């Protein structure tokens, strides 16, 4: 993707370069390219040199000798003999400068005969040495093979009966007297813009000129001079024709309202990988994972890298981008940052031989084998199936198979647009041969597509494959039809991809947060600023998009995109990509006035393909500009002589400087071209003229990254150390930003929600942030790694630690191994006496993860362990302990690794420590199906009855995910440990006893339940009696719990946010035990209490489903709805005698008796009233006839919950306020007798009508309504 651009250039090419064998310095083995010396000399690589480049230097693009040399011939020189194939190979490459701008290179590598006698004899000598070594190896006693071994007789004639041996032998041999030696040479163009097709043709024609029997019409210098100095870049939206050695060459450049320039054949990527794989790779690239492309062909690496980044429009890859990684830079693969790199394979090694330092978030693309290896937990791209269908239709209309077809890209010299079988037949435009339709029907993606197609109503049968342009070829079309077809396919596929983003982000501008400060101060605080309202944007998106979008919004490319939006207010200032994108978004808005709140996942196909194609066809049909023709240069006699088969050393005196007056400027392009052109170059690519803004954008880009591309220069240890130091600083900065972002998310929401149920950011968003933290940890742990087992560097380190600790553990010691060193415990406040705290143990936490059968991979285990440690607030501490084993760290890591930089490591652990300030449930909420041990302790009152208690207690624990059923608790210990499937966050405990024995009265203070893996401890306060004849006669109660805060004894305590849930306190529980101590609330306070309780429920339902806390808590918890209505009914309640308690339930039962008798006497005011009475009596009867012994307060609680569920509470309040029983049992001042107060209470309760309240099973067990 042409994102960067050398600003000063207005010429088509900046340099012409020749690389190859320097006969002066002879054969130097290329140690850097990592070749081994067991290989025969012809298979080894030797150092290549830049032999010449013209001109010496241009100011806007200084010549980088090291980079060009490395990338023109990334593997160095290779030798062949006359029996080997010597096809010329074309490849392109890219050089990224410090400022992010790019220069392109296009190289043609071919073989020339070696004329130097010294080189030939050096090669012969190497062979003698090699053969002698082989001979020694073969004649060691271990291998008693005789001299018949074919490898030992390189010069013996061989019978053709054994072709394999003969080929192998001839392949690996060189005999100076018999063989001709050839060596690779490379000619290369360095250009400011990537006109790949034109450059390929130019180089092909130059090569043809030296290999053809007739010399070219003019000396080669004339053509190269013309190219360097007389061919301009085509201006935006125009086409340009110039002359090659044998034929005209056309290139065209899109206008500023079209997609940016892209001149590689996208079909090649689809042929190599297939649509399905391309889409997966696309998703990985958008999420900024580490991407490693792997192929034997340099051009394939470049083609896939450029194509995939071009499809990302309007976003741009912000990180390390090295489509061709020279062998000498392999250490760069342990860069702990997102990267997109291409690695050359030698064709022998398979994937398993590759020792990659980090694989946890690696997308590995084996291009030659049509295979892609994805990281775990990769979300799906939105509307994936429909998207694949749309792309496939485009590809098939050009005869490209959606499945991919690796052979059609074998032919590197020409672009084949059809799978091989189709080529022969399509000349007549006859493409639906029985073979192809059979192929199409047989392959499985097509079958899937057809299923989808049936649903969408498109028919594949009618899908037309384009007629070959030859039948109706426009006679004026100046570029050949293959190329036109390539441009058409490119633009169609790119438009389809671009359309996905314009649809997905159609209303993105609404969510951009414009800075309130001026640019300078915005810039200095850029790290802290949120530039996009992610939460609101996500809440508008269809559910299936969320996993992908929530991760995409966290990427650097998205942040940079929004930054450039903020920095460019008017159209003139906007970057090219942003301007094009915004104009498309505006168009979509006009076409379908979509209300931003509408969450639609309707798939809308691309509509502007036709006009995009038309623009290209117009430019090709009518060439706008023609460059000056090559002409004879002012050369001395005898210069420019030419020898067939050899690319000559060119005359530097004529090529080093351009024309003094710009002839072509007069002829075909007015001078304002160049001025306009320069202005547009910043529009089309990076801005490189407005310094102030450039600084902003550049720095905004570099926020997350420090290095775009490794320096392709001398790789001294100091350079490598400096690079690694940059990585260490970058990792630390990233860690600081991530922890801060995660805390702000959590704290921000907690602050808003204090006292309203529970706190959590959306599951999706929290998962995204935690997944990105896990990725960061993996990257840190794989930096500078030397010993690794499995794919996860972090888990590998943990396993090594576990091994070493378990070896050192003394077998006879107490407790399981691994506990010896870390026996520190946490004490819990509150239940401290009830339960000995869990031991803090890194190894034990690892064992918990290892025991979970559902997690199969190392990466999964590492992530689970991080989640568990976060939930237990031990992440920083565990990692500190892991890294305190210095011997182990030294053994596993190189000196420059992040984990061996002490200061940075300390700061990193300190950043992680801040996570202890908030509650995460990232383990409990994700592993919902695993078995978890729970420990329950019932704390009964010490003062009363505990020891004499004779009945058998039981409990039933409920959580957000499920409940346990009834568990018997031993009477003597009152504690029990059991294992069951993850209950999620715990909400209620039902407890009771069977009323057996002589003394079945029991005063329970609380129940404490602990999750034995995460250590979360919940306290369920009770403070009431259970037993017949005491309190309200209840044998069972439902308790609502709160999470207790663990405190560690050391000074790692950090400030905590207030506890997540306030539990039902003691105040309400003792209200009815001694009426004299009732807290007297006045009517105002009671109304406020009801308002707050209702408010909590309303807020609960206004949150997205994933964010809602526990509804049970809002109904039955402290200051919940039940409590509030209890206050209403207790206000002004007449209490008969000091020692006899009267409960609200008693009043309700009397009212029920009255209503039932009134019903029988049929003294009925109206129909409505009757219905309400019937409902009320039915509920009362059902609750009274339940088999559960829940006592009078328990029954009242159940009535309120059922009334809320069925939206009947406000009717019942109205009934009771009018009931004569009320006047008998309440004083005159009671709230329930005050007309206006009752009316306002009814109005408040009516707000619950719009909500669909679902009650937890434990609240309504045993009531069949």
pLDDT digits (tens, 9 = 90+) for 32-85: 555 555 677 777 888 888 988 888 888 888 888 888 888 898 888 888 888 888
Query: Looking at residue 782, what is its pLDDT?
Result: 84
**The two three-digit tokens of residue 12, written as one number:** 């088509």
Query: Looking at residue 74, what is its pLDDT?
Result: 85
Question: What distance in Å separates the CA atoms of residue 166 and residue 158, rounded to the nearest whole number?
Answer: 6
Query: Looking at residue 425, what is its pLDDT?
Result: 37
- Other Cβ atoms less than 10 A from the Cβ of 839: the count is 14
Contact indicator for 992, 954 with CB cutoff of 8 Å: yes
Furthest-apart CA atoms within the chain: distance in Å: 133
Query: Looking at residue 548, what is its pLDDT?
Result: 92
Contact indicator for 956, 988 with CB cutoff of 8 Å: no
Query: Looking at residue 638, what is its pLDDT?
Result: 55
Residue 277 has pLDDT above 60, yes or no: yes
User: For a pLDDT cut of 90, what percent of the chain falls above it?
Assistant: 17
Which of 143-147, 173-177, 267-271 is the least confident region?
143-147
With both helix axes pointing from N to C terminus, report the angle between 875-883 and 902-913 in degrees, rounded to the nearest 10: 160
pLDDT band, very low/low/confident/very high, at 1216 (cuts 50, 70, 90): confident
**The two three-digit tokens of residue 322, written as one number:** 């090295």
Question: What distance in Å separates the CA atoms of residue 570 and residue 245, rounded to the nearest whole number?
Answer: 46
Question: What distance in Å separates the CA atoms of residue 238 and residue 265, rounded to the nearest whole number?
Answer: 20
Q: Helix or strand or coil: residue 916?
A: helix
DSSP per residue, 748-768 = HHHHHHTTSS-----HHHHHH
Question: What distance in Å separates the CA atoms of residue 799 and residue 846, rounded to the nearest whole number?
Answer: 9
Q: Which helix (H) or strand (E) holds 1088?
A: helix 1083-1102
Cβ neighbourhood burial of 1175 (10 Å; 0-12, 13-18, 19+): middle
- Other Cβ atoms less than 10 A from the Cβ of 419: the count is 19
Q: What is the rounded end-to-end Cα distance, in angstroms, of the chain?
A: 65
CA angle centred on 1220, ends 1218 and 1221, rounded to 5°: 110
Contact indicator for 647, 208 with CB cutoff of 8 Å: no
Question: What distance in Å separates the CA atoms of residue 500 and residue 390, rounded to the nearest whole number?
Answer: 11
Query: Looking at residue 626, what is its pLDDT?
Result: 84
Residue bearing tokens 């942040």:
559
Which of 249-258, 598-607, 1163-1172 is the least confident region?
598-607
Residue 312 has pLDDT above 90, yes or no: yes
Question: What distance in Å separates the CA atoms of residue 1062 and residue 1040, rounded to the nearest whole number?
Answer: 10
- Other Cβ atoms less than 10 A from the Cβ of 1262: the count is 12
Query: Looking at residue 864, what is its pLDDT?
Result: 92
- Rounded to the nearest angstrom, the gap between the alpha carbon of residue 245 and the centroid of all alpha carbons in its chain is 49
Omega into 1235 within 30° of 0, i.e. cis? no
- Rounded to the nearest angstrom, the gap between the alpha carbon of residue 118 and the centroid of all alpha carbons in its chain is 56
Question: What distance in Å separates the CA atoms of residue 1105 and residue 94, rounded to the nearest whole number?
Answer: 48
With both helix axes pointing from N to C terminus, report the angle between 481-504 and 266-273 in degrees, rounded to the nearest 10: 80
CA distances from 280 to 192, 326, 374, 379 (A): 31, 26, 8, 9
Contacts (Cβ under 8 Å, ≥6 apart) of 573: 567, 693
Contact indicator for 119, 174 with CB cutoff of 8 Å: no
Which one, of 92, 111, 77, lies nearest residue 210 by Cα?
Answer: 111
Please give the average per-residue pLDDT across 598-610, as a whole number: 72
Question: What distance in Å separates the CA atoms of residue 1177 and residue 1149, rounded to the nearest whole number?
Answer: 9
Residue 957 has pLDDT above 90, yes or no: yes
pLDDT digits (tens, 9 = 90+) for 1140-1195: 677 888 888 888 888 888 766 665 667 788 888 888 998 898 888 887 778 888 88
Residue bearing tokens 């210990």:
973
pLDDT digits (tens, 9 = 90+) for 830-851: 444 567 788 888 999 999 999 8
Query: Looking at residue 514, what is its pLDDT?
Result: 78
pLDDT band, very low/low/confident/very high, at 315 (cuts 50, 70, 90): very high
Which one, of 198, 357, 283, 219, lies nearest residue 780 by Cα?
Answer: 357
Secondary structure E strands in 604-727? 625-626
pLDDT digits (tens, 9 = 90+) for 849-906: 998 888 888 888 999 999 999 889 899 999 999 999 999 999 988 888 888 888 888 8
pLDDT digits (tens, 9 = 90+) for 425-455: 333 333 333 344 444 444 555 555 555 555 5
pLDDT band, very low/low/confident/very high, at 1137 (cuts 50, 70, 90): low
CA distances from 400 to 267, 293, 395 (A): 7, 22, 5
**The two three-digit tokens of residue 443, written as one number:** 């392959």
Between strands 967-968 and 953-959, the pairing is antiparallel
Omega into 317 within 30° of 0, i.e. cis? no
- Other Cβ atoms less than 10 A from the Cβ of 663: the count is 13
Q: How many C-alpha atoms does 980 have within 13 Å on its Cβ side?
A: 20
Which of 173-177, 747-751, 770-774, 1203-1207 is the least confident region?
747-751
**The two three-digit tokens of residue 822, written as one number:** 């870390």
pLDDT band, very low/low/confident/very high, at 1052 (cuts 50, 70, 90): very low
Question: What distance in Å separates the CA atoms of residue 304 and residue 1136, rounded to the nearest whole number?
Answer: 88
Please give the average per-residue pLDDT across 145-153, as a whole number: 39
Question: What distance in Å separates the CA atoms of residue 561 and residue 700, rounded to the nearest whole number?
Answer: 10
pLDDT digits (tens, 9 = 90+) for 1002-1023: 888 899 999 999 999 999 988 8
Query: Looking at residue 801, what is its pLDDT?
Result: 92
Contact indicator for 605, 499 with CB cutoff of 8 Å: yes
Contact indicator for 823, 836 with CB cutoff of 8 Å: no
Query: Looking at residue 1131, what is its pLDDT?
Result: 87
Q: Which is more confidently placed, 152 or 255?
A: 255
Which one, of 284, 286, 290, lies nearest residue 779 by Cα?
Answer: 290
CA distances from 559 to 315, 534, 697 (A): 10, 11, 11
Question: What distance in Å separates the CA atoms of residue 1207 and residue 483, rounded to the nearest whole number?
Answer: 70
Please give the average per-residue pLDDT across 1028-1055, as a whole number: 70
Contacts (Cβ under 8 Å, ≥6 apart) of 715: 32, 328, 329
CA dihedral 364, 365, 370, 376 (to 10 degrees): 40
Determine the length of the chain.
1265
Q: Phi/psi of residue 239, each to 5°?
A: -120, 160
Q: Phi/psi of residue 242, each to 5°?
A: -140, 170
Share the mean pLDDT of the chain: 76
**The two three-digit tokens of residue 224, written as one number:** 């190269």
Q: Helix or strand or coil: residue 252?
A: strand
User: For a pLDDT cut of 70, what percent of the chain falls above it?
Assistant: 73
**The two three-digit tokens of residue 785, written as one number:** 């790694």
With both helix axes pointing from N to C terminus, report the angle between 266-273 and 298-310 in degrees, rounded to the nearest 10: 110
Q: Phi/psi of residue 572, each to 5°?
A: -60, -40
Question: What distance in Å separates the CA atoms of residue 89 and residue 109, rounded to the nearest whole number?
Answer: 5
Q: Which helix (H) or strand (E) holds 967?
A: strand 967-968
Question: What distance in Å separates the CA atoms of residue 1192 and residue 613, rounded to the nearest whole number?
Answer: 79
Query: Looking at residue 663, what is its pLDDT?
Result: 43
Which of 60-69, 471-480, 493-502, 1029-1038 is the least confident region?
471-480
Contact indicator for 771, 377 with CB cutoff of 8 Å: yes
Residue 570 has pLDDT above 80, yes or no: no
**The two three-digit tokens of residue 853, written as one number:** 């059968």
Q: Phi/psi of residue 1022, each to 5°?
A: -130, -70
pLDDT band, very low/low/confident/very high, at 476 (cuts 50, 70, 90): very low
Q: Which is more confidently placed, 328 or 806?
A: 806
Q: Which is more confidently placed, 158 or 1142?
A: 1142
């Amino acid at each position: 993707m042409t994102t960067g651009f050398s600003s000063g250039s207005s010429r088509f090419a900046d340099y012409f370069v020749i690389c190859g064998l320097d006969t002066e310095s002879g054969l130097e083995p290329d140690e850097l390219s990592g070749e081994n010396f067991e290989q025969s000399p012809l298979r080894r690589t030797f150092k290549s040199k830049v032999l010449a480049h013209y001109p010496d230097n241009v100011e806007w693009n200084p010549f980088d000798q090291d980079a060009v040399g490395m990338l023109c011939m990334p593997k160095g020189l290779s030798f062949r003999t006359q029996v080997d194939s010597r096809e010329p190979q074309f490849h392109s490459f890219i050089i990224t400068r410090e400022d992010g701008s790019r220069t392109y290179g296009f190289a043609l590598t071919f073989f020339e005969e070696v004329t130097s006698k010294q080189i030939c004899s050096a090669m012969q000598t190497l062979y003698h040495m090699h053969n002698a070594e082989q001979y020694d190896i073969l004649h060691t006693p271990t291998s008693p093979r005789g001299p018949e071994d074919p490898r030992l007789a390189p010069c013996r004639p061989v019978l053709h009966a054994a072709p394999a041996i003969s080929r192998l032998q001839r392949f690996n041999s060189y005999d100076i007297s018999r063989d001709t030696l050839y060596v690779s040479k490379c000619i290369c163009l360095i250009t400011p813009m990537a006109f790949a097709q034109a450059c390929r043709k130019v180089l092909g024609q130059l090569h043809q000129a030296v290999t053809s029997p007739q010399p070219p019409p003019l000396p080669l210098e004339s053509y190269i001079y013309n190219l360097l100095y007389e061919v301009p870049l085509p201006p935006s939206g125009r086409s340009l024709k110039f002359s090659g050695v044998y034929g005209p060459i056309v290139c065209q450049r899109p206008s500023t309202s079209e997609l940016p320039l892209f001149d590689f054949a996208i079909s090649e990527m689809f042929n190599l990988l297939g649509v399905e794989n391309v889409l997966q790779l696309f998703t990985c690239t958008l999420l900024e994972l580490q991407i490693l492309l792997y192929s034997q062909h340099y051009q394939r690496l470049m083609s896939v890298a450029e194509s995939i980044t071009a499809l990302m429009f309007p976003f741009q890859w912000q990180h390390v981008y090295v489509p061709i990684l020279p062998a000498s830079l392999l250490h760069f693969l342990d860069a702990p940052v997102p990267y997109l790199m291409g690695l050359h394979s030698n064709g022998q090694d398979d994937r398993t031989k590759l020792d990659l330092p980090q694989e946890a978030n690696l997308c590995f693309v084996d291009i030659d084998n049509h295979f892609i290896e994805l990281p775990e937990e990769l979300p799906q791209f939105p509307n994936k199936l429909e998207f694949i269908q749309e792309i496939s239709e485009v590809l098939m209309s050009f005869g490209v198979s959606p499945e991919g077809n690796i052979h059609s890209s074998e032919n590197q010299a020409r672009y084949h647009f059809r799978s091989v079988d189709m080529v022969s037949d399509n000349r007549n435009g006859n493409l639906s041969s029985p073979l192809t339709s059979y192929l199409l029907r047989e392959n499985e993606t097509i079958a899937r597509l057809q299923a989808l197609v049936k649903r969408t109503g498109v028919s594949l049968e009618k899908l037309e494959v384009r007629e070959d342009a030859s039948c109706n070829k426009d006679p004026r079309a100046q570029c050949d039809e293959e190329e036109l077809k390539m441009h058409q396919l490119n633009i169609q596929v790119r438009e389809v991809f671009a359309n996905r983003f314009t649809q997905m982000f159609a209303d993105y501008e609404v969510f951009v947060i414009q800075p309130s400060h001026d640019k300078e101060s915005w810039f200095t605080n850029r790290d802290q600023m949120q530039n996009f309202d992610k939460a609101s944007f996500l809440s508008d998106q269809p559910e299936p998009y969320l996993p992908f979008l929530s991760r995409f919004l966290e990427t650097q490319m998205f942040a940079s995109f929004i930054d450039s939006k903020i920095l460019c207010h008017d159209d003139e200032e906007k970057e090219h990509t942003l301007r094009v994108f915004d104009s498309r978004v505006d168009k979509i808005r006009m076409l379908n006035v979509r209300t931003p709140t509408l969450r639609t996942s309707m798939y809308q196909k691309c509509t502007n393909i036709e006009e995009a194609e038309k623009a290209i066809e117009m430019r090709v049909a009518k060439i706008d500009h023609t460059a000056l023709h090559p002409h004879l240069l002012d050369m001395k006699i005898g210069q420019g002589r030419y020898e067939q088969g050899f690319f000559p050393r060119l005359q530097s005196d004529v090529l080093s400087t351009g024309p003094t007056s710009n002839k072509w400027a007069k002829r075909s392009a007015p001078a304002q071209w160049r001025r306009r052109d320069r202005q547009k170059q910043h529009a089309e690519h990076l801005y490189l003229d407005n310094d102030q803004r450039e600084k902003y954008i550049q720095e905004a880009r570099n926020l997350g990254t420090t290095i775009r591309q490794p320096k392709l220069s001398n790789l001294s240890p100091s350079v490598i150390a400096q690079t690694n130091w940059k990585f260490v600083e970058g990792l630390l900065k990233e860690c600081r930003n991530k922890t801060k972002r995660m805390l702000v998310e959590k704290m921000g929401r907690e602050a808003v929600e204090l006292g309203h149920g529970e706190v959590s950011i959306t599951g999706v968003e929290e998962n995204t942030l935690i997944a990105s933290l896990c990725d960061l940890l993996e990257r840190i742990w794989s930096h500078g790694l030397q010993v690794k087992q499995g794919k996860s560097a972090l888990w590998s380190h943990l396993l090594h630690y576990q091994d070493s600790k378990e070896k050192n553990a003394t077998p006879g010691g107490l407790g399981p191994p691994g506990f010896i060193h870390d026996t520190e415990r946490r004490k819990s406040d509150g239940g401290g006496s009830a339960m000995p705290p869990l031991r803090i143990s890194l190894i034990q936490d690892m064992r918990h993860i290892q025991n979970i059968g559902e997690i199969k991979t190392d990466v999964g285990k590492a992530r689970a362990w991080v989640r568990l440690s976060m939930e237990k607030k031990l992440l920083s501490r565990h990692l500190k302990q892991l890294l305190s084993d210095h011997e182990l760290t030294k053994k596993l890591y190189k000196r420059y690794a992040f984990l061996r930089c002490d200061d940075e490591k300390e700061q990193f652990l300190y950043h992680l420590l801040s996570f202890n300030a908030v509650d995460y449930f990232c383990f409990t909420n994700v592993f919902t199906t695993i078995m978890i041990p729970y420990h329950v302790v019932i704390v009964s009152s010490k003062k009363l009855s505990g020891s004499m208690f004779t009945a058998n207690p039981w409990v039933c624990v409920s959580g957000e995910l499920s409940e346990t059923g009834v568990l018997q608790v031993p009477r003597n210990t009152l504690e029990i440990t059991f294992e069951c499937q993850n209950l999620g966050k715990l909400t209620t405990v039902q407890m009771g006893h069977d009323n057996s024995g002589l003394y079945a009265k029991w005063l329970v203070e609380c129940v404490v339940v602990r999750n034995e893996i995460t250590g979360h401890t919940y306290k369920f306060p009770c403070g009431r009696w259970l037993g017949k004849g005491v309190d309200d006669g209840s044998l069972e109660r439902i308790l609502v719990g709160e999470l207790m805060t663990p405190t560690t004894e050391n000074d790692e305590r950090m400030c905590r946010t207030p506890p997540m849930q306030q539990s039902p306190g003691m105040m309400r529980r003792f209200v009815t035990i001694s009426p004299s101590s009732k807290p007297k609330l006045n009517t105002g306070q009671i109304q406020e209490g009801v308002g707050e309780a209702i408010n909590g429920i309303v807020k609960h339902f206004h949150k997205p489903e994933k964010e809602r806390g526990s509804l049970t808590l809002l109904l039955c918890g402290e200051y919940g709805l039940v409590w509030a209505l209890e206050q209403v009914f207790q206000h002004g309640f007449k209490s008969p005698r000091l020692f006899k308690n009267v409960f609200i339930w008693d009043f309700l039962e009397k009212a029920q008796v009255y209503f039932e008798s009134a019903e029988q006497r049929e003294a009925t005011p109206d129909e409505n009233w009757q219905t309400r009475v019937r409902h009320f009596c039915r509920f009362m009867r059902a609750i009274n006839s339940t088999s559960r012994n829940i006592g009078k307060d328990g029954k009242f609680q159940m009535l309120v919950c059922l009334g809320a569920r069925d939206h009947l509470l406000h009717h019942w309040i109205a009934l009771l306020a009018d009931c004569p029983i009320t006047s008998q049992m309440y004083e005159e001042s009671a709230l329930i007798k005050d007309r206006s107060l009752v009316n306002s209470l009814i109005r408040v309760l009516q707000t619950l009508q719009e909500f669909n309240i679902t009650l937890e099973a434990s609240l309504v067990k045993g009531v069949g309504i």
